[in-house]
Amino acid sequence: MQDLSAELLLSAYAQGVFPMSEGRDDPALFWVDPKMRGVLPLDGFRISRSLAKTLRRGHFKISFNTAFTKVVQGCADRDETWINGTIFDLYATLHARGDAHSVEVWEDRRLVGGAYGVALGAAFFGESMFSQATDASKVALAYLVDRLHIGGFTLCDTQFITDHLASLGAIEVTRATYHMLLADALKRPASFNLSGDAVPSAQDVIQRNAQTS
């Protein structure tokens, strides 16, 4: 693989591929373009009764783009990870450029969950999420989906699908379908950074999801 720059990485996303490594200590990267792609329909996110109850409790505080590197570190802090030093540095660069974003979940001023990804046109490429408290990653995803709705995004790419993501509404589509959805999203304008950047209330997130799902 040629030296990977932020520009090359964005070009790869626009073509439907993304980089991975075999592990945190493996410096090599490889491109991935799955035959079946995980996507989270923005009008199909499922907020269960238990998740709605967690949201309404209000014990989590939410922020956007205030602790990007800590979120990536949280995502990499597991026994097996595809996030090596090169990938970490590249996404930090994309964040500094305004192309990568994070949502953070805090409990008693401690970062207990979050998610991050890359925005291009009206496509958001979800990279990873983590949780150190019950439902923290689900809460992060609920606020992320709400943010994407408001910002005009049409595609939320999850790369692969897991049981966890499927329970929240994620589905698999073929490579051809994904590329069609991507091509359409890249033609549309969207913004992750909203005017005023205010964090919506839990009730607003629940109500907007109910209106679209």
Q: What is the pLDDT of residues 46-94, one digit of tens each?
A: 999 999 999 999 899 999 999 999 999 998 887 777 677 788 888 999 9
Give the pLDDT mean for 16-42. Answer: 87
Q: Is the separation of the CB atoms in 112 and 132 below 8 Å?
A: yes
- Identify whether 1 is part of a domain: no
Q: Is the separation of the CB atoms in 68 and 193 below 8 Å?
A: no
Report DSSP state, residue 137: H
The enclosing domain of 24 has a CATH number of 3.40.630.70
Give the pLDDT mean for 36-50. Answer: 94
Place of tokens 């035959």: 35
Number of domains in the chain: 1
- Identify whether 120 is part of a domain: yes
Number of Cβ atoms within 10 Å of the Cβ of 106:
19
108-161: per-residue pLDDT in tens? Answer: 999 999 999 999 999 999 999 999 999 999 999 999 999 999 999 999 999 999
- Identify whether 92 is part of a domain: yes
- Identify whether 184 is part of a domain: yes
What is the separation of C-alpha 81 from the centre of its chain, rounded to a whole number of angstroms? 16
Say which amino acid occupies 78: R
Domain interval for residue 10: 6-212
